[in-house]
């Protein structure tokens, strides 16, 4: 039976997200069918130095079988 696992992070922490996904894959022993991702760009917010952007949200969707 196919299942989905969703991982969420922010773009400034991509290395940690990669480590989390790789650790889960290693420990779970699942068969990955597909991995897709999405990055949601953030809008500018007024900061002390003018328009700045906060880190964008990153989602990874892993379709797998046990």
Whole-angstrom distance, CA of residue 26 vs CA of residue 8? 18
The number of residues making up the chain comes to 66
Ordered by start, the domain boundaries in the chain are 2-42+54-65
The terminus-to-terminus CA distance of the chain in angstroms comes to 7
Whole-angstrom distance, CA of residue 63 vs CA of residue 57? 20
Q: The whole model's pTM is what? A: 0.80
Alpha-carbon distances, residue 24 vs 21, 27, 29, 61 (angstroms): 5, 5, 8, 13
Whole-angstrom distance, CA of residue 22 vs CA of residue 15? 11
User: What is the pLDDT tens value at each position of the chain, 66 positions in all?
Assistant: 999 999 999 999 999 999 999 999 999 999 999 999 999 977 666 555 556 667 899 999 999 999
């Amino acid at each position: 039976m196919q299942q989905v696992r969703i991982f969420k992070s922010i773009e400034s922490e991509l290395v940690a997200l990669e480590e989390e996904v790789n650790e889960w894959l290693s420990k779970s022993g699942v068969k990955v069918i597909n991995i897709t991702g999405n990055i949601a760009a953030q809008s500018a917010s007024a900061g002390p130095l003018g328009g700045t952007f906060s880190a964008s949200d990153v989602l990874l969707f892993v379709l797998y079988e046990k």
